[in-house]
Amino acid sequence: MDLGLEGKVAIVAAASRGLGKAAAMELSREGARVAIAARNSKGLEAAAEDIRAETGGQVLAAQADVSKAADIDKLVDTVLAEYGRIDILVNNAGGPPPGVFTDMSDDDWLAAINLNLMSTIRLTRRVLPSMRKQKWGRVINITSVSVKQPIPTLILSNTARAGVVAMAKTLAGQVGNDGITVNNVCPGYTLTDRMIDLAAHTAEEEGATPADIIDRWAEEVPVGRLGQPEELGAFITFLASERAGYITGTTVQVDGGQVKGLL
């Protein structure tokens, strides 16, 4: 299937590892010119080299902390100067720390909203003029299955990411006539560094081992295993493609059947 991504320009946030890197890798494999952003310049450059070596594609590494408005402005300006356009935006950011409601201060709440909600709002706002000008664009937000089935120990993430979904659904109705789609993807248990960190945190609380926790999570998934980052990357790449032009305002989990709800 020709996805029509040859020569398109994609920004992928938090792409030095994990889900962001997997998305950038798959987009590059399909011929998109990719700009990847992350806070850690060393890890970012290593990821860019990995993607170039694997796909032979054009990859721009731009250091940016998406929790900072100035970094977002600089990132978008850098991509426009290098490529002249932006066709695809993959919003992504690391998650806030786990905990329960009574553990969280105002600063904790504000930091989580800034990291996971405001970063998405700011990046999307900056790329929309380019997409509107060319009458084509794809905005894809990496959220979590927690927006459909809240995770008890992730109250900050549950709240901030639900805001992303509400924003995206509303925005989809406002930019559809411009040829722009806006969708959310919800990874379930996926074997990333963050998931390994969460397993370690849970194991410490329960007096278990991280391997025990990962095995338990796998038992909760109908397919019997945790997902691989490249599986989410492949779905993101399809949503970014010409073939997905009639899909917008959706929130789709990639979770091996983990979420039990009907929608």
Task: Say which residues have a Cβ less than 8 Å from residue 67's Cβ, sequence separation at least 6.
Answer: 93, 111, 114, 115, 118, 119
Q: What's the topology of domain 9-190+228-254?
A: Rossmann fold (3.40.50)
pTM for the predicted model, two decimal places: 0.94
Reply yes or no on whether the pLDDT at 233 is more than 80.
yes
Q: What is the number of other CB atoms lying within 10 angstroms of the CB of residue 6?
A: 10
* Helical (H) or strand (E) element with 23: helix 18-29
Between 195 and 178, the higher pLDDT residue = 178
pLDDT of residue 168: 98
Confidence class for position 185, pLDDT limits 50, 70, 90: very high
- CA atoms of 181 and 138, how far apart (whole Å): 5
Phi/psi region, residue 38 (left: phi>0; alpha: psi -120 to 50; beta: rest), is: beta
Confidence class for position 14, pLDDT limits 50, 70, 90: very high
The structural domains of the chain, with segments of one domain joined by +, span 9-190+228-254, 191-226
